[in-house]
Structure 1
Amino acid sequence: MTDTFGEYLKQIREARGLSINQLASLAGISGSQISRIENGLRGVPKPVTLRKIAEATGVSYDQLMGYAGYLPEQDNNLTESPVPGWATNKDKRDFRKMLEDDGELMFDGIPLNKEDKQRIKDVLTGLFWEAKQMNKRKKNSPPSDNTDHSVTNN
């Protein structure tokens, strides 16, 4: 197992026999971006970029999301998140499942096609896990001292 996402991406790319430029072309992203990721000069890519890399390499999107740290290690299934006891049936509707359904879904009166739904799902997935990570950091950080220590001269 590799230590960083960049090393993991390089391992995948090399296993597929792809150069950086070939992967970049297949994924529709720049070669310099892939190089920076692999060399640790850029952090973990956003979910939208991971989707492109997954499609270009044939690696599952969920696998990349998990390795990138967006999904918890013990449970990569987003649909099994705990639901508060006060939640009504309407509250329990899973937006991700709604985006995955084949039924018509509209935004601002405009029907969404499959690609629109996938892009929205990718963006929301990234935002969701980013928010979860931020909330986890807030719970673990010591409370801040909001006392005003400024001195005023009258």
Structure 2
Amino acid sequence: MEQPAFGTYLKQQREHKQWSINQLAEAAGISNSQISRIENGLRGVPKPSTLRKIADALSVSYTEMMKNAGYWGEDDSVEQHSHDSYRSNVPEWATSKDRWDFKKMLEEDGELMFDGIPLDKEDRQRIKDVLTGLFWEAKQMNKHKPKSPPAGSDQE
């Protein structure tokens, strides 16, 4: 999934805005060293949630950012991605049950609201992007925890 040209793309977008690495880092809320490593090809393509921060900071299309990062093909859209995102960015260690859990979480598509106002498609996608990163981090952390007996059992 890694695109060697993504660092070049990111640098072009940053320079088009006439920003330094430090300015982009501050605006996106990520470290300047991370941006530098991405631009110089020393780090792989960031997670979708990080790409969202960079796209928002640079005022560029998140869809274009995801396409250039290699997450989406030319025919993908935010709408299609929201249905297919359980397939992308799945860690190698994920079991079929992990993938099923993730797919189920994304498909539970009730109306999301903030202060009683329904969120639009773009805001819902942002939330899904953040949840994607958090879901896989939590799954990985839980795989490294020792199994404890269920609450209420007399095993100690």
TM-score interval, normalised by the smaller of the two chains: 0.5 to 0.7
Aligned residue in 2 for 1:64: 65
Contact 1:21-1:31 within 8 A present in 2 as well = yes
Aligned residue in 2 for 1:18: 19
Query: Computing the radius of gyration over CA atoms, which structure comes out larger, 1 or 2?
Result: 1
* Secondary structure of 2:19 counterpart: coil
Name the % identity: 58
Q: Tell me the alpha carbon deviations over residues 16-48 of structure 1, each in whole angstroms, 9 at most, x when there is no partner.
A: 000000000000000000000000000001001
CA–CA separation in structure 2 for the residues paired with 1:68 and 1:98: 26
Runs of 4+ in 1 over 6 A off after TM superposition: none
CA-CA distance at 1:79 after TM superposition: 2.7
Aligned residue in 2 for 1:143: none
Contact 1:70-1:126 within 8 A present in 2 as well = no
CA–CA separation in structure 2 for the residues paired with 1:6 and 1:103: 36
Q: Tell me the alpha carbon deviations over residues 52-89 of structure 1, each in whole angstroms, 9 at most, x when there is no partner.
A: 0011000011111111111122333543869xxxxxxx
Contact 2:55-2:62 within 8 A present in 1 as well = yes
Aligned residue in 2 for 1:98: 109
One-letter identity of the residue aligned with 1:18? W
Contact 2:49-2:129 within 8 A present in 1 as well = yes
Contact 1:96-1:121 within 8 A present in 2 as well = no
CA–CA separation in structure 1 for the residues paired with 2:10 and 2:107: 26
Cα-Cα RMSD = 3.8
Greater RCO, 1 or 2 (C-alpha within 8 Å, sep 6+):
2
**What TM-score does the superposition give when structure 2 sets the normalisation length?**
0.55
Q: How many residue pairs end up in the alignment?
A: 108
CA-CA distance at 1:124 after TM superposition: 5.5
1:1-150 alignment, distance < 5 Å: 4-79=5-80, 95=106, 98=109, 101-103=111-113, 120-123=127-130
Point out where structure 1 has 5 or more consecutive residues left out of the alignment.
83-92, 105-112, 128-154
